[in-house]
Amino acid sequence: MMQGQQWTVEVVIDEHHDDRMTHAEARLQAPGRPATAGVGRARRNPDDPEVPRIGDELAVARALFDLAHQLLDVAAGDIEVATHEKAHLHR
């Protein structure tokens, strides 16, 4: 039986009200793997109402999306090493 693993993703959000920017970083920590981080940003249009939650959601979604793409790239490389064939992963 395979033993379970725990991977942890920590999301840090930094809001800059003066330039209407929200920055998020999704940091992955997994046993035996180098730390990996995805980055996402959101900018509020000056004509839109100030609703910080929306900027947070967009920035975090983009950070997780970036992290997911990085993991897919790593997995593709691992597949190519194991099979000696080009990997084609769908995103």
pLDDT tens readout for residues 67-78:
999 999 988 888
What pLDDT, in 10s, does the model give residues 19-73?
889 999 999 999 999 999 999 999 988 888 888 889 999 999 999 999 999 999 9
CATH code assigned to 8-83 = 3.30.160.240
- 2 backbone dihedrals φ, ψ, rounded to 5°: -80, 135
Q: The whole model's pTM is what?
A: 0.85
Domain ranges across the chain: 8-83
How many angstroms separate the most distant Cα atoms in the chain? 57
Spatial separation of the C-alpha atoms in residues 70 and 48, rounded to whole Å: 32
Spatial separation of the C-alpha atoms in residues 40 and 37, rounded to whole Å: 10
Residue 34: HSE in the Cβ half-sphere, 13 Å Cα cutoff: 5
Residue 1, SS3 per DSSP? coil
